[in-house]
Chain A
Amino acid sequence: MTTTTPTPSVLAAADPAAPGPQTSGRRRFRIGAGEQLRGGPFTYLALAVVGVLSVFPLYWTLVAASHDQQRVLDSPPPFLPGGRLWHNLQAAWEQASLGKALVNTLIVAGCITAATLFFCTLAGYAFAKLRFRGRGVLMTAVIATLTIPPQLSVVPLFMIMSDIGWGGKLPSVIFPTLVSAFGVFFMRQYLIEALPYELIEAAKVDGANNLRVVRSVVLPAARPAMMVLGMLTFVQAWNDFFWPFLALNQSNPTVQVALGQLSASYTPDQSIVMAGALISTLPLIVVFIVFGKQIVGGIMAGAVKG
């Protein structure tokens, strides 16, 4: 009996070292058409142009945030950072109460990410590996919900939230996004390949019930994908604008809402607005620089079978 137990070495086969979709994608790439053709000078030139265009607006946010408004609006506009960055950051921090907004955003994005990871892994596992009546139809239903824009339900959502006393409070932003269709789909795609039936069977033969299987087999196997889904969800929750803008008010905003309000004040100082934009974006840019590779891999892995 001990032979069928998922020993650490068996587990390792489905574990971080060997993530499913990504590596299989790359393996196909090696023998694919890309092999024959190396990028020439034109390829690098074109990529460099697109790269500069991609990064420049962010660089220019920094430039504009480091001058005074007069200089920002001057022609020719500044191309190099000036010396007012610290002053502007402080001004933005105070005017838009960004401290509170940052804490709020962290709470919102943190809760949404944790809940999404938990629920999507469970649901993804069920859709990938468990047999049950209506599985196909229900999975189609999950994907179909992706096509419903939030605009269609914000009016009553606003009324409901005010009804149950969540008007203007963070739960009104957290609860509607606790679990995402994309996340369910993403985890399902990953677990189909990364979690062999043998592991589940072995755990069951050992007498593990379903919850136990989830804890000792599914979660370890899902960890790499959970990392990626976590980052994608965090980025999205951090940047969400439409519903938080409607649901939260001036006194209790997320950074995006605070930023919108800062720019909508009567005479917004553009250099201070840009400083606010910088503060609200910086945490994500850090996340992106550290985990960029995984985020890229995650988007590609989630898309392959889309």
Chain B
Amino acid sequence: MATSTPTRPSATPPPPAADAARAEARRRLRSRLWRLDDKASPYAYIAPFFLVFAAFGLYPLLYTGWIALHRVELTGLDQSTWIGLDNFQRVLGDGEFWDAVANTFVIGVISTVPQLLVALGLAHLLNYRLRASTFWRTVILTPYATSVATAALVFALVFRPDGGLLNYLLHFVGLGDTNWANGHWTSKIAISVIVIWRWTGYNALIYLAAMQAVPADLYEAASIDGASRWQQFRKVTIPSLRPTILFTIVISTIGSMQLFGEPLLLEGGTLGATGGSEHQYETLSIYLYNYGWKLGHLGPAAAVAWSMLALLLLIALIQWLIGRFLRKSAG
């Protein structure tokens, strides 16, 4: 690159007087191009993201709203008739939809809360000086490399009522014979276990990274003040991790809104596609899939999608309010 001097404006050799005007013009053009390059390049570099997002994210999102107001069938994708709010009426007036909302919420809570708590404890352990620390980190992350499909199918076998691994192990402690997928609570627990299994290690690593960024002098000051290990964890570690914890809560919430593969494959076949014989583990995504692709009514499916958007905004608002409240009460 040291040899690329010719393009450098100031390095142009001094021109003869006759060519001075032309050289001056060329110099000006070049510096204008240079400035254009400087001004336009950043936008050119970020454009692909926004183009892809506009085409495959934002436009479909708005289009969903339009479809939600029309009758569109899977069998005739090019035909649509305006029916106003009928789809929304149909969906919101359907008890199954509200069951799906409740199921999604319950599964979300019982998978997110234990997951993040365990991840926090796990990160704390990993933050000690350990032999083979990389080995431990990699091992707890293996579930992350496992697909939803594989995880759900293995756990489906583990949770089988007869001959399932879990019931077999439970009979040693006098439990067992639970029909996990059939029960209202047990099926939700089973799905949560799959979610917790896949994501705890991932979240633990995120917490670990944040813990390692906590300045050491905070701990020194705390121990000089006579704070115990537990007090240090509560008064130094947790407050320092607050933004990270908030981040993981938001990410997990969004993730639990999307649960699809786990319930679909827990029992497979038609039961999976309807979220169980009594829809006991039907999530919103399953409900949407069922309406759109099993029953073939894309209009109501789109109405479900927009209802999910409304729910997400509501949750975001609540989380924001709670965050504000916590910050205020923390002083």
Contacts and interface: CB of A to CB of B under 8 A. Distances in A.
Given A55-B142, A132-B42, A300-B208, A28 B216 contact: yes
Nearest to A147: B254
Interface stretch (A83-91, A222-230, A290-298): A290-298
Contacts of A252: none
Contact of A264 (B41, B145, B272): B272
A184 B147 contact: no
A292 B141 CA distance: 8
6 contacts: A1-B2, A2-B2, A33-B232, A120-B49, A123-B46, A246-B289
A295 B138 CA distance: 8
Interface in B60-110: 60-61, 63-64, 66-67, 72, 77-78
B134 interface: yes
Contact of A260 (B11, B134, B265): B265
A177 to B, nearest CB: 8
Contact of A58 (B125, B142, B302): B142
Contacts of B127: 29, 33-34
B2 A263 contact: no
Binding site secondary structure of chain A: helix
Interface in A34-56: 34-35, 37-40, 43-44, 46-47, 50-51, 53-55
A102 interface: no
A130 B40 CA distance: 11
Nearest to A57: B154
B165 A28 contact: no
A264 B268 contact: yes
A156 B60 contact: yes
B150 A280 contact: yes
Nearest to B194: A57
B210 interface: yes
A47 B78 CA distance: 56
Looking at B141, B154, B168, B250, the one whose CB has the most chain A CB atoms below 10 A away is B154
A274 B46 contact: no
A235 B145 contact: yes
Interface string A112-126: 000000011011011
Given A1-B5, A154-B305, A178-B52, 5 more contacts: A34-B212, A119-B52, A126-B42, A263-B156, A270-B157
A126 B163 contact: no
A275 B41 CA distance: 50
B38 interface: yes
B189 interface: no
Interface in B139-191: 139-151, 153-158, 160, 162-165, 167-168
Interface of A: 1-2, 5-6, 25-26, 28-29, 31-35, 37-40, 43-44, 46-47, 50-51, 53-55, 57-58, 60-61, 64, 72-77, 119-120, 122-123, 125-127, 130-132, 135, 138, 141-142, 145-160, 162-163, 175-176, 178-179, 181, 184, 203, 205-212, 214, 216, 235, 238-239, 241-242, 245-246, 256, 259-260, 263-264, 266, 268, 270, 273-274, 277, 280-281, 284-285, 287-288, 292-293, 295-296, 299-301, 303-304, 306
A277 B153 contact: yes
B128 interface: yes
Nearest to A27: B212
A151 to B, nearest CB: 5
A240 to B, nearest CB: 8
Contacts of B5: 1, 206-207
Nearest to B143: A54
Nearest to A38: B129
Contacts of B230: none
Looking at A58, A149, A264, A268, the one whose CB has the most chain B CB atoms below 10 A away is A149
Interface stretch (B18-26, B198-206, B320-328): B198-206
A76 B145 CA distance: 29
Contact of B157 (A72, A120, A147): A72
B125 A39 contact: yes
Given A6-B1, A132-B43, A281-B147, A263 B153 contact: yes
Contacts of B61: 148, 152-153
B223 to A, nearest CB: 9
Contacts of A205: 8
Given A57-B197, A60-B154, A300-B205, A151 B216 contact: no
Contacts of B289: 246
